[in-house]
Every structure is written in C-alpha cells, then in structure tokens.
Amino acid sequence: MSKIIELAELAKSYVLKNWNNSSVLYSVLTAYGVYKVIYYAFFDRLRNVPGPFISRFTSFMTRKSMISGDFTDYLFDLHKKYGPVVRIGPNKVSDSSASDFKKVMASYRFRKSIEYEGFAGFHQNVFSTRDEEFNRMRRRQLGPAFSQTGLNSVEDLIEDICVSTFVNKLNKIVDSGNGSAQFNYFRYFQNVTADVIGELAFGERFHAVENDGHVVTDWVNDSIKSSFVFNSIPPLKAIRSMIPSLTIVDPRLKQFCLDSVKNRQNKIDKGEFSKDRVDILQMLMVAVNSTNKKPLSEDELVSEMGDMILAGVDTTSIAMTWLITYYMLYPEIYKRVVDEIRTNFPSEDHKITHKETREKLPYFIATVYETLRIKGSVGGGLAREAPVEGVDLSGYNIPHGTDIFMFVAGAHQDTQVWGDNLSFNPDRLLGPEGEPLKKEILAFSSGVRICPARNLAWMEIFTIVPNMIKNFDLSFPKNSLYGPNILDPNNGNEPKVPKDITFFTKPPANPERDCNIVITKHFF
C-alpha cells in the first residue's frame, strides 16, 4: 500500500513540473483514477463494511436520494439488505443500531459532520455548530427559555394559542359547514406552532391560526428544502460559499428577525415588557458571548432566530400530523384515546393543560411516543465524524474521519429493542415495562446534542391534541386514499400510511391531498 502512495506522490510531483503538457496531464489523471479505483476496491479501511459496490467509489446514489426526498426510504432498503451498518459512500456509513446511536451521541468525541455547516445561514448556530465550546455557550444562553421555569412564565400565552385560539378557529370551521367540515390538519398544526414560535422567538404572534397561514411558514418550507438540496450537491454547496446572497435564510426572514429585535427593544425602553417573562428572544438579546465578551451580533441573532423557527414550526407540527394520521388508520386506538380524554375531562369549558395530560392521560402519551417511534419528524441520518482513535460499531471498525449517519428512523425499528417493530402498538409503552422503552425514543436525539427545545415541543403536543380530541370528532373523508381497511402488503399488512418525503424533516409527501380530515363538534 505504501508503494502505491509513493507512486501517487511521484506522479503528483511530475505533473506539477509538466502541467502544460496535455498528454502528460491526461496520463497522470488516468493513473490517478486507476489508483483510486484500486485503493477503494481493495485497500481502504472501510472495505469490510457491507453496502452497494458503487458506494466504495461515489456517494452519487446517496446524494440522489437526498435530492429526491427519498433518503429515509433509501436507507431503510439498504439496512434491510445489508444489516445495521452500511457503506453509503467512499467515506460515509449509515448506522441503524439503537445502542450505537446512544454510544455515538453520548459525548463530544464524535463531532458533527462538516455537512452541518451548510445549515448555518449567516452564522453558526446551536444546531449547525461543530464546535463543542460554542455549543455549550449557546445552550447556556438559551437554557433558561427552554427550562420548565422559563416555559411556565409564558404558559398562559402558549395555552391561549394552543387551546383558545385554535379551538375557536375549529369551531368557526365547523359552524361554516353546518356542524361538520373538512380541513387540512397539517396546515393548521403548522399555523399553531408558528404562532407559538412567533410569540417566543420573535416577540409577536403571527396570527397564522386566525388568518389561515402566515408568510413565515412559506419561508420555513422553502428554506428547509433549499438548504437540504444545497447540502446534497457539493458543487452547489461550493458555489453558495462564494456567493453570500445564496444563503439558506430568506433575506425577508433576516429583516423580519431584525425588526423583531428592534420592536422588543422599543417595548423594553418604554417599560412595556414584563421582566418576569423569559422567552427565546429575550435570552438572545441579553446574552453575552464568552468568546469575545460581546452581545450577539446581528448575524448571530438572525441565525439563531431563523434556526428556532425552522426547527420549532416544522418538527412539532409534523409529529402531530402523523399522530392524527395514525389515529385515523387505527380506529380502536383512536377510540381508547377519545374515551380516556373525555372520561378524565368531561367539561366542554375545561382547558386541558400539559401538566394534566402528564398526570391523567397515560394512554394518550403512549400513542405520542409510539408515533414518534414508528414515523417521527426527522428523516435521514444525524451525521457525526468518527473520532481520532476510530470506533467499533456493531462489529465494524470505523476509522477516523468517516462520516457516520446515525439513522434515527432505523434505530426506532431496531428489532433488538422493539421486537414487532412494524406494528403500531402504544401498549408497549405503558406500565413499568414501558418506561424504559420511552428512553429508547430518539426523536429529540440524545446525549450532549439533545434537542434543547424538547420541553416546548412536549408542551405543545400535550396541550393542542388533547383539547382538539376532547372537543371534536375526527374522521377521514370518504374519498381518502387511506384507511384502516387499506392494507400495505410490504409492511406486514398494516394499514397503508401516506408516503413521506425527507428534507431533513419528514412530512407527508402530499399533505394537501393526504392530510384532510372531517371534523364534527362533540356535544357534552
């Protein structure tokens, strides 16, 4: 092997001396290509990791699946054929083992892959950063807003959006249809989560629920897709690094962020802002970087605020969308949830709080966890670099510098943990035996880079869905392409689930067609 490398170095030296001789150049390029083929075919350190033969030489098939939105399905197919660790590129592997996932995510030894730099926008942020100290600093700065104490300080605002405003909107929809109407629950969940993030990260409500949307949700959807596509095509990624205007953050969103900071400062100056309120925007505005002892710059503020809205709107709304979808596909489970909620909360006027959900609705909570397991909001893999000393994963030695895509959806299907992994079975998460399994749900990641906003997501889900189910009856339209009796032979004859699409998050591929529901007022 050392001889081959010496020859490659000699060839490099020779071509530099004779670069103007085209025949020499072509010869050396050909020799270099042959060398690369021989190296990756017989000598490289990942040669024992199973996978498609072409993946030894190129990541083309992986990149293609990313661009098309089929990355999650592509990885599932590979792991089904090759096992828990699969080679997906010359220097990339995918890992679907639940135990490996927690091992890799447990410490900062496994840096985030360079892939994440493409999600940085104007400046690295708590999501995109690969730097351990920067991540620790941002988590300290944002921590108070996401702590239970911080969320309690804005609980009334969240309750007003998630219950009062949302239920009032549903009542208007039902009244407009003389007691029964059809609406798109994916869009409405996006609207309500956008209003929550608007209050907490921008200091103002977007009124997306009342007005059937807000332009910011369009910016979110476009930004997520564009950032994922740019990251998936190396030449585009390089071009974007040279042209600042090709940022993943919409320029209109940048100005919106800066205007929000200005408006908050005006309220503070006029004494109109409550000092008791602890929210994301305030934590960012008062933060001082430990690196330079200065407040966050405009680019830092915009990057963090943009990250909050990209992550906060999409992931939670998608989780609730899949939850309602699975209720409609499994009517016996839906009925148990309805009975549990309405038995514990028989009053129409009572607003169920997230605390009451935790205390009184164990079966509902189990269905949320099971939905996060079987579908979830995040697709593809969370990419990490193998450390200097390398790492052993599921019997394979992964050398330093290899990108390890920790496949969340695959870990949630690990039969060593879940057994009958294809069935939607919330009962597995009940009682003493269910509590340890809840810790195997990796929807918010785990370890040192666990999602800092997970408490907010739980608060939203545990408030929005129980109140919706308490007050309204839900059913698929008669012309729906899906239902409990439409089975999928490729998935253990379980009910067929709408196709998803992966652009980091994993929403339904056709939400306008597949996420419509008939809603009827429940009379107490």
Please give the Cα distance from 371 to 230 (Å, whole number): 30
Q: Same domain for 411 and 473?
A: yes
Please give the Cα distance from 51 to 104 (Å, whole number): 21
Which pLDDT does position 123 carry in this prediction? 82
Please give the Cα distance from 185 to 469 (Å, whole number): 13
Residue 171 has which token pair? 């009542």
**Residues making up the binding site for heme:** 451
Q: Same domain for 38 and 85?
A: no
**E strand segments, 324-419:** 381-385, 391-393, 396-398, 403-407
CA 438 to chain centre: 18
Residue 275 lies in domain? 44-521
Q: Nearest Cα to 424, choosing from 380, 376, 357, 378? A: 376
Residue 251 has which token pair? 């320029």
Query: Domain total for the chain?
Result: 2
What type of residue sits at position 175? D
User: What is the residue-wise DSSP string for 311-322?
Assistant: HHHHHHHHHHHH
Which pLDDT does position 278 carry in this prediction? 84
What type of residue sits at position 83? G
Q: Same domain for 78 and 210?
A: yes
Q: Same domain for 179 and 247?
A: yes
Q: Same domain for 133 and 32?
A: no
Query: Regarding beta strands 92-95 and 403-407, do their DSSP bridges make them parallel or antiparallel, or are they unpaired?
Result: parallel
Please give the Cα distance from 174 to 184 (Å, whole number): 13
Please give the Cα distance from 345 to 334 (Å, whole number): 16
Which pLDDT does position 439 carry in this prediction? 95
CA angle, 99 then 104 then 110, to 5°: 175
Please give the Cα distance from 359 to 345 (Å, whole number): 12
Which pLDDT does position 237 carry in this prediction? 59
Taking only the tens of pLDDT, the chain with its 524 residues reads: 444 445 445 555 554 555 555 665 566 557 656 656 676 666 789 999 999 999 999 999 999 999 899 999 999 999 999 999 999 999 999 999 999 999 999 999 999 998 887 666 668 888 889 999 999 999 999 999 999 889 998 999 999 999 999 999 999 999 999 889 999 999 999 999 999 999 999 888 999 999 999 888 777 667 666 666 666 666 665 565 555 555 555 678 888 889 999 999 999 999 988 878 888 999 999 999 998 999 999 889 988 888 888 788 889 999 999 999 999 999 999 999 999 999 999 999 999 999 999 999 999 999 999 999 999 898 889 999 999 999 999 999 999 999 999 999 999 999 999 999 999 999 999 999 999 999 999 999 999 999 999 999 999 999 999 999 999 999 999 999 999 999 999 988 999 999 999 988 899 999 999 999 999 999 98
Which pLDDT does position 170 carry in this prediction? 96
CA angle, 436 then 439 then 443, to 5°: 150
Which pLDDT does position 497 carry in this prediction? 98
Residue 374 has which token pair? 């079987």
Q: Same domain for 19 and 112?
A: no
Q: Same domain for 30 and 156?
A: no
What type of residue sits at position 134? F
Please give the Cα distance from 35 to 304 (Å, whole number): 44
Q: Same domain for 17 and 65?
A: no
Q: Same domain for 497 and 453?
A: yes
* CATH of residue 134: 1.10.630.10
Which pLDDT does position 495 carry in this prediction? 97
**Residues making up the binding site:** 451
Q: Same domain for 58 and 68?
A: yes
Q: Same domain for 39 and 140?
A: no
Give the residues across from 406 on adjacent strands. 95, 382
Strand, helix or coil for residue 416: helix
Which pLDDT does position 26 carry in this prediction? 62
Please give the Cα distance from 55 to 479 (Å, whole number): 43
Q: Same domain for 5 and 124?
A: no
